[in-house]
Amino acid sequence: MKNELKVKHKLGFGTAPLGNMFRDVPEEEAMKTIQSAWDEGIRYFDTAPFYGAGLAEIRLGEILSTHKRDDFLLSSKVGRIILDEEEEKEGLFEYGRKNKIRTDYTEDGTLQSIEDSLKRLKTDRLDMVYVHDLSPDFLGDEWITKFDEARKGAFKVLDRLRDEGVIKAWGLGVNTTTPIEVALELEEAHPDLSLSATQYTLLQHERAFERMMPLAQEKGGGLVIGSAYNSGALLGGDFFDYQEITPDIKKRVEQFTDVARNHDVKLKHAALQFSAAHPAVKAVVVGSTRPEHIKEDLQAMQADIPVAFWEELVEKKLVSSKAVLPGK
């Protein structure tokens, strides 16, 4: 694929919240949100088996299956198999389906994961596939062992599927930068589009800017940016990177809020435009369970933001002086 991804508005719809992340989302609300995304012109949708143990895929499939498959781009993820056996849930998707989940980055597991996703999504193909949460934040010290499992399994399978034209692109979908960087430098595998969540945002971007972003460009790949609001922290929410927000992060958000107020700028607008501005970024995916938020996100991408706003962020060292800024 190599930088050929073209996403309308450079904005995609992420479905993690529709897997009942943090709360029990009523079915009608979920359906209206997906339909709103379509009605507003969104044509790239990202999902994963992990989101509510298949719930987000099932909900997304209900809406997308009513549209022509060639009219939209669809990505899902591999690395987890949803089992029939059930268990009590806790954590991010406490309110999702009760099905047990098995972590599996092998060749067979990857093929099964794709097949299962296609059934839940009621479709015949995925455009992009991300190897999900192959990262220390989920796997701890075991991530290196699992990375090796994926290198011998998932990576080879996805390379082959892309080369055969079955999928358009593949990469990693993670919340840290190191796994993407390591994968990009492999000689035997060739990821060309990765989803980086939480790592290239207004609140944190220096590590990504120094290494992950230029490496993606150098290797001819691209990036999709997720969680541009850092799980809602930048918009005044209670979570930062899927964990309860800390006082230090709250203080930083207040600093951003003060600068935004000085220039009559909405932080949502600035966050989306910042994450989208780097040339390595092909799209930004935003998630919601509120139908009205979709139009707000599209408007945010088009909003005028004064140069003085960005200059003050740099001056106060809230944003790296080396960062690629919108409009510059």
Residues forming beta bridges with residue 14, ordered by sequence position: 46, 287
3-state SS of the chain: helix, strand, coil percent to 5?
45, 15, 35
Q: Amino acid letter at 223? A: L
Interatomic CA distance for residues 166 and 35, integer angstroms:
27
Q: What angle do CA 312, 318, 320 make, to 5 degrees?
A: 95
Phi, psi of 214 (to 5 degrees): -65, -30
How far CA 235 is from CA of 33, 63, 84, in Å, comes to 19, 28, 37
Phi, psi of 66 (to 5 degrees): -90, 0
- Is the separation of the CB atoms in 213 and 280 below 8 Å? yes
At residue 128, the 3 state secondary structure works out as strand
Burial, 165: exposed, middle or buried (Cβ in 10 Å; 0-12, 13-18, 19+)? Answer: exposed
At residue 171, the 3 state secondary structure works out as strand
DSSP 184-227: HT-SS----EEEEESSSSSSS-HHIIIIIHHHHHHTT-EEEEE-
Query: Does 51 qualify as catalytic in the annotation?
Result: yes
End-to-end CA, the chain: 28
The one catalytic residue in 44, 51, 130, 200 is 51
Catalytic residue positions, numbered: 51
